[in-house]
Structure formats: structure tokens, C-alpha cells
Amino acid sequence: MALATAPPTPVKRFSANPFIAFYQSSIGKKIVVALSGLFLIFFIVGHLLGNLEIYLGQDHLNAYANLLQQLGPILWAERIILLLAVVVHIVATIQLAMENRAAKPKKYAKSAHQASTLASRTMIYTGLLVICFVVYHLLQFTLMWTNPEYRNLHDALGRHDVYHMVILGFRQPLIAVFYAAAIFFLATHLSHGFESVTQTLGINNRKIGRFISNGGRWLSWLIFAGYVSIPVTILLGLIK
Ligand code: HEM
């Protein structure tokens, strides 16, 4: 009588190149997701600090935006690195999800799904929503395709009047609400991101892990408060 044997488990082959081998491992990909995410957080915080200059008045915000434009090649280098970080973050996340799915035996698939936290499942959706928001945001304020009239806004010094562009944008309640919702999804994504980094590093039950998780949660909601204050104050007519 022939004995029933389990199908052989595929053996994963790793590259001889240590960098590629690192990326091929699951922990390597998780670290790449975390590091690219950290870089994106630096941009998000920097961008927020720049945008908060709106509270200092038209001259401050326009001078800041003008300075950025003057950076020329440095600005382009930053944009390319930013784009690369976004692509790497997404590609590594997709590959991790595919590997996780392939590693799960079919009969356990349902219970494994139930065991996965709501946070980890919502990460994909909040991430996708943030990407959709950024695409719209670039079309609105950077490329000005949605509102070509913004191109004609100039201040007394002949600089692009970013201050009035932002005010005109957020005076439309629908746009302000859309931004508030997108920033909420961004904060949720960041907050869960910090939590999952501590899990990846296996330090979620240690003091340092709890510090990163709680600190990350605070930072995420501070980011939310800072960004969302702009459409809210404009809509309330506090900035004119
Ligand atoms: C109240 C919220 C926000 C305001 C008022 C705002 C404002 C702006 C403005 C005025 C620009 C164009 C700068 C210029 O070309 O002169 C810009 C660009 C940009 N914003 Fe925002 N932003 C906000 C939220 C966000 C968020 C939440 C993100 C990311 C998740 C983001 C990502 C970007 C990116 C990637 C660019 C392009 C940067 C570049 O061209 O180098 N923004 N933003």
C-alpha cells in the first residue's frame, strides 16, 4: 500500500550577493519597508513645518515656497529620492503580503486572516487612500492641472502666491473635508506603522518597543492636528 506523503516544501534560494540575500529574506523586506517609511515620515514632518508658516503670514509662506523652488537640482534630487522611497515602500509591502499568503496552508487561511489584526489589514487600504490623495494634491498644488488659475497668483514681490493658492483651495468645503479625511487616513497609517515596526523587530513587549509605539502614536496624531488645522482655520475664516 502506497503511503500518502505531504507535498515537499519549496526551498527558498538566496542570492550570493549579501544585499540581495538580505532583501530576499522576510525580515530584510520588513526593514526596508520600515526604513523607507521613516524617510517618508521625515518628509511629512518637514512639509508640515513648512506649511505651518501659513500662520506667520503671506510673506513667510511665499518666501519659504520660493526658497524651495530656488533649490533647483537639490529639489529635484529630493523629489527623486522621495519617489524611490514611495516605490520601494509599496513594492516591498506587496511582496511581503504575497509571501505571507503563499506561506499559509489553505486550511488555515481563514483563521490566520481572523488572527491578523484589524490594523494590519487596514494598513493596505489607508496606504492606498493616501497615495490617491497625494496624486490629487500634486495635480492641485504642484502641477496646478485641476486649477490652472493658480498659476496667475503672484504677490507684490512677483513670487508665486502659495499663501493665496492654499486659501483659495481650502475655501471650498468639499476640498477641505477631502483633505481632512485623507490626513486622518495618513495618521492612522503612520500610527499602525510604528506599532508594526516594533512587532517586526520583536520588541513590542519591551520598554523601548512600547516607547516607539506610544511615541509614534503621539507623533501621528500631532501630524494630523498640524495638517488638519490648516483647512479648518481657512474654512472658519480665521486665515484670510
Ligand atoms: C493642509 C495640508 C497640506 C497643505 C496646505 C499642503 C501644501 C502643499 C503645497 C502648497 C505644495 C506645492 C509646493 C510648491 O510647489 O510650491 C505641496 C506639495 C507637496 N505636498 Fe503638500 N500640503 C499638505 C499636505 C500634504 C500631505 C499630507 C502630504 C503627504 C502625505 C503632502 C505631500 C506633498 C508632496 C509630495 C508635494 C510635492 C513636493 C515637491 O514638489 O517637491 N502634502 N503641498
| Cα(20)–Cα(22) distance, integer angstroms | 5
Q: How far is CA 13 from the centre of its chain?
A: 32
Q: What is the pLDDT of residues 36-92, one digit of tens each?
A: 999 999 999 999 999 999 999 999 999 999 999 999 899 999 999 999 999 999 999
- Ligand 1 contact, 85 CB (< 6 A): no
- Ligand 1 contact, 79 CB (< 6 A): yes
User: H/E element holding 77?
Assistant: helix 73-103
CATH number at residue 157: 1.20.1300.10
Domain containing 93 equals 26-104+118-235
Task: Please name the residue whose Cα sits nearest to atom 13 of ligand 1.
Answer: 142
Main-chain phi, psi angles of 129, to 5 degrees? -65, -40
Closest CA to 200 of 40, 28, 30: 30
Can you tell me which atom of ligand 1 is nearest the CA of 186? 30
Asked whether residue 111 is assigned to any structural domain, the reply reads no
pTM higher than 0.85 for the full model? Answer: yes
The CA 137 to ligand 1 mean position distance, Å, reads 7
Helix (H, G, I), strand (E, B) or coil at 160: strand
Q: What is the pLDDT of residues 96-138, one digit of tens each?
A: 888 877 777 655 545 445 545 666 678 889 999 999 999 999 9
- Ligand 1 contact, 179 CB (< 6 A): yes
- What ranges in the chain are assigned the alpha helix state H? 18-24, 26-51, 58-70, 73-103, 109-115, 118-137, 162-170, 173-200, 207-235
Q: Quote the number of domains for the chain.
A: 1
Location of C-alpha cell 489553505: 106
